[in-house]
Structures are given as C-alpha cells and as structure tokens.
Structure 1
Amino acid sequence: MLHYALVFLVIAIIAALFGFTGIAGAAAGIAKILFIVFLILAVIAFFRRAS
C-alpha cells in the first residue's frame, strides 16, 4: 500500500513539472488517500500484534 502511495506521489510530481495540473492534483489526492489507509492499517496491525 505504501508503495502505491509513493508511486502516485512520483506521478504527481512529474505531472506537475510538465504542467499537467489536473493529473497532478488527482495523483496527489490518490497518494494522500492511500497513505492514510496505509497508516490506519499499520496502526491496526501494530495493536493486534501487541495484544
């Protein structure tokens, strides 16, 4: 999940450099959502393993 978030972040940065603001914004939004989902799943996994 974190890998996909980083991939979309790189796509957003490259698209922003070339001036594709719509694509950059969409890719950044997807990256942010995937990162939040990753954090939630990581916290759940941490607490399940700790107990």
Structure 2
Amino acid sequence: MGTHQQDISPVSVVGELNYLLASWCPGLLDADLNTSLTRVLRERFSRVQSRCELES
C-alpha cells in the first residue's frame, strides 16, 4: 500500500454568536435553519440584524 502525504495549509476560521430574545422570534426553531439565519429573521420575523458591538 502506498503512502499519501496530505498538504495541510493554515486555515482561517470565523465564528459568530447571535443572541436573540425568544419573544422576538416565536417559532424560530420550527423554521428551516439550514439556511441563512439573517434571511430567516428578515423574511419570517421582519427582524434585521445589526452589528452594534464587535469584540476582539
């Protein structure tokens, strides 16, 4: 069996946390969450996300 060498390059990863009040989005967990949360909030709940606070 031959050996296979894999090239492992550095990768950047960005994580995002969203805090929502449950009363703003009743039934959120019933929505299709395998898509953009921003789109679900806008189209289903008329909520628009804003970046009011950024932490580093």
TM-score, normalising length from structure 2?
0.23
Higher Cα radius of gyration: 2
TM-score, normalising length from structure 1?
0.24
Q: Which has the higher helix share?
A: 1
